[in-house]
Structure 1
Amino acid sequence: MSQTIAPTHATPPAPEPEEDLAALAARHGLTVSGARPTLPQYVGQLWSRRHFITTFATAKLTSQYSQAKLGQIWQIMTPLLNAVVYFFIFGVLLDTKRGVPDYIPFLVTGVFIWTYTSSSVTVGTRAISGNQGLVRALHFPRASLPLSLVLQQLQQLFFSMCALVLILVGFGQYPRFHWVLAIPALFCQSLFCAGISLIMARLGAKTPDVAQLMPFITRVWMYTSGVMWSVQKLTSGHQDIPHWVVMALRCQPGAVYIDIMRYALIDSFHGSQLPPHVWALCLGWGLLFFCGGFVYFWRAEESYGRG
C-alpha cells in the first residue's frame, strides 16, 4: 500500500526591514536631481558661468537685428524714433515742453533711460518661458538667463548713449565733470533692472499670461515717471494733489533714475528738481530689488523647466 505524505508548508523567513531610502542615498553620497543649492553655492555657480552670461548677451544682441537690412543701426534708430514720436505728440500737440528748458535733451535722456528699464522688465518676463528648450536640456543656474538678457539691454543702452552724447552736444550741452555722475547712476539702475528682471522671470515662468499684461503696466509706469514731462512742474501746478502722491511720483524708481541722469547730463536741470535724498533712493532701490529679486528667484530654482 502506498503511503500518502502530507505536504509541509514551511513558514517563509520574515523579510529584513528595508533601509530608509533617504539614509541609503545619503550614505552613498546621492542627492536629489535638480535640487536647489544653497545661496552661497548658487552665487558661486553663477560666477563660474560669467563667461556664458556675457557671451549669451552679446550673441542675443548681435542676432536681434540680423534679418534687418540696416542691421545694428536699429539699436540707435529705435529709441530715436520713439523720441521723435513722443516729441510730436507730447511736446508739440500737448505742449508739455512749456516751461521745460532744453526740452529735446530732456526728452531724449528720459526716453533712453526709460527704455533700459522697460526692456529689462519685458525680457525678464520671457527669460525662462522663452528658453524652455535650453532650460530642460542643460543644467546651469537659471538666473544666468535673466541676468544675461539685462546685460544685453545694458549693451544696447551704450549704443544709445553714444547717440545721446551727439544730441546733447548738438543742443549746447557740452561734456563737463558733472557727466561722471552718470556712471554710479547707471550702476544703481543696472542693479534695479537685474532685480526686477529676476522677479519677472519667476512670475513669467509660472504664469505665462504675465507677459501679455506687462505692456499695459509698463505703459502706465512710463506716464507716471516723467519721461515726456517734468513731474515736479506738472504736480506743482495742481495744488489739489496730496503731497504724498507728489512724493510717491517723484521718489519711485522709474522717475529717480531718469531725473538723476538728467541732472548729470543737462545743465538746465538743477538739483532743486530732484527728490530729497536722491542718491540714497538711487542706491536703495537698486540694492532692494537686486537682493530681493535674487533671493526670490533662487527659492524656485528647482521648479524651472518642469511641468
Structure 2
Amino acid sequence: MSESTHDGAVAENAQNSPDDGLSPTELAAKYGLTVSGARPSLAAYVRQLWSRRHFILTFSRAKLHAQYSQAKLGQMWQVMTPLLNAGVYFLIFGLILRAGRGMPITDYIPFLVIGVFVFTFTQSSALSGVRAISGNLGLVRALHFPRASLPISFALQQLQQLLYSMAIVFVFVVSFGNYPRLSWLLVLPVLVLQFVFNVGLSLILARMGAKTPDLAQLMPFVLRTWMYASGVLFSIPLMLKDRENVPTWVADVLMWNPAAVYMDLIRFALIDGYGAEYLPPHVWALAVGWALVVAVLGFVYFWKAEERYGRG
C-alpha cells in the first residue's frame, strides 16, 4: 500500500470515529472520567470520614499537646485558664455585683465554676472551628481528605481538654458539700450531646470562616455576648424573678438557648441545691434537639461546599 493510500485510510477512520459529535461531558461519562476534587455524595462523604477516624483522633491529640508546648507550665494551662477566669468572674460578679443573690455562696461558687468550664468547651470549639479551614490552608491544598475532618478534630480536641478539666470541677463541687450520687452519671450523656452540638457549630463556622476570614476577628465579641446571655455568671430564673417588666418570651429564649441548657443540666446533676425548678420545661428534649438539629444541618451545610475549600 502506498503512503498516500495509507494516509487516506487513517483520515477516513478518524472521520468515522464513534466519538464524533460527543460533547466533553458525554466523552467523560463514556470513558468513566470524573472531575478532580468533585464533591462526593453525602453517603460516600460519611464513609470517607469514618475511614479517616484515626487521623481525626491523632490530629486532635497532637493539637492538644502542641497548644501549650511553649509555656513552662505546659498542659497545666488547660485547667488554669478557665479556673482563673472563674476567679475573676467571682470577684467582679459574685462579690462586687452580687450576681449570685438568691443563691447560697456554697452553691454559687460551684455554679460559677461549672458554668465557666462548660461554656468554655463550646466557646473554644467555635473559635477553633471558624479557623479550621482558613488557618490550615497549607494542609487543605497539599493533601486530599474530607475537609470536615478538621473542624471535627478541633471539637474533639476541646472535648479532651474539658475531660481533663472536669477533675477540677469535681474538686470544687465536693469542696462545697456536694458529694457523689447517682445524678452525677447524667454528666456523661450531657457532655456527649454538647459535643455533638459543638461539632455541628464548628462545621457551620468553618464554612463561613473559609469564605470570610474576617469572621474570626468578630467571633470573640459574639461569643462574649452569648456568654452573658446564657447564665454563666448568674441564674436566669433568679435574675428575672422580680422583674415583672421582662416579657415571658425573653426568659424562655434565654433559658432555651443551647449553652444554657447544657450548663444547667450539668449543674442539676452535680449541685444538690440546684433543683429542677431552675431548668426549662422539656429540658432533655431541648438538649437532644439542639444537638441533632445543629449537627445534621452543620454537616450538610459544610459538605455542600466541600469542593471549594482551599481554592481561590
For Structure 1 versus Structure 2, the TM-score category normalised by the shorter chain is over 0.9
Residue 6 of structure 2: aligned partner: none
Match of 1:51 among 34, 51, 54: 54
Q: Give, in angstroms, the shift of residue 295 of structure 1.
A: 0.3
Which whole-Å CA distance do the structure 2 matches of 1:89 and 1:30 have between them? 64
Which whole-Å CA distance do the structure 2 matches of 1:279 and 1:97 have between them? 25
Q: Give, in angstroms, the shift of residue 171 of structure 1.
A: 1.3
Q: Judging by fraction of residues, say which structure has more helix.
A: 2
Q: Give, in angstroms, the shift of residue 91 of structure 1.
A: 0.3
Q: Give, in angstroms, the shift of residue 177 of structure 1.
A: 0.5
1:84-233 equivalences under 5 Å are 84-101=87-104, 102-233=107-238
Residue 274 of structure 1: aligned partner: 279
Which whole-Å CA distance do the structure 2 matches of 1:197 and 1:100 have between them? 34
Question: Structure 1, unaligned stretches of length 5 or more?
Answer: 1-11
> Percent of aligned positions with the same letter in both sequences?
60
Match of 2:35 among 32, 35, 54: 32
| Structure-1-length-normalised TM-score | 0.94
| Runs of 4+ with >3 A deviation | 12-18
Match of 2:257 among 240, 244, 252: 252
Equivalent residue letter for 2:302:
F
Equivalent residue letter for 1:139:
H
| Structure-2-length-normalised TM-score | 0.93
Greater shift, 74-83 or 97-106, is seen at 97-106
Which whole-Å CA distance do the structure 1 matches of 2:100 and 2:42 have between them? 49
Question: Structure 2, unaligned stretches of length 5 or more?
Answer: 1-10
Which whole-Å CA distance do the structure 1 matches of 2:265 and 2:189 have between them? 10
Counterpart secondary structure, 1:237: coil
Counterpart secondary structure, 1:114: helix
Equivalent residue letter for 1:229:
F
Which whole-Å CA distance do the structure 2 matches of 1:119 and 1:268 have between them? 29
Equivalent residue letter for 1:278:
V
Which whole-Å CA distance do the structure 1 matches of 2:262 and 2:100 have between them? 20
Residue-pair matches, total = 296
Q: CA RMSD in A?
A: 1.3
Counterpart secondary structure, 2:299: helix
Which whole-Å CA distance do the structure 2 matches of 1:97 and 1:277 have between them? 25
Q: Give, in angstroms, the shift of residue 18 of structure 1.
A: 4.3
Which whole-Å CA distance do the structure 2 matches of 1:120 and 1:185 have between them? 16
Which whole-Å CA distance do the structure 1 matches of 2:118 and 2:39 have between them? 35
Q: Give, in angstroms, the shift of residue 15 of structure 1.
A: 6.3
CA offsets 1:21-77 (integer angstroms, 9 cap, x no match): 112112222100110000000000000000000000000000000000001111111
1:58-69 equivalences under 5 Å are 58-69=61-72
Residue 83 of structure 2: aligned partner: 80
Residue 41 of structure 1: aligned partner: 44
Which whole-Å CA distance do the structure 1 matches of 2:146 and 2:72 have between them? 36
Q: Give, in angstroms, the shift of residue 19 of structure 1.
A: 2.7
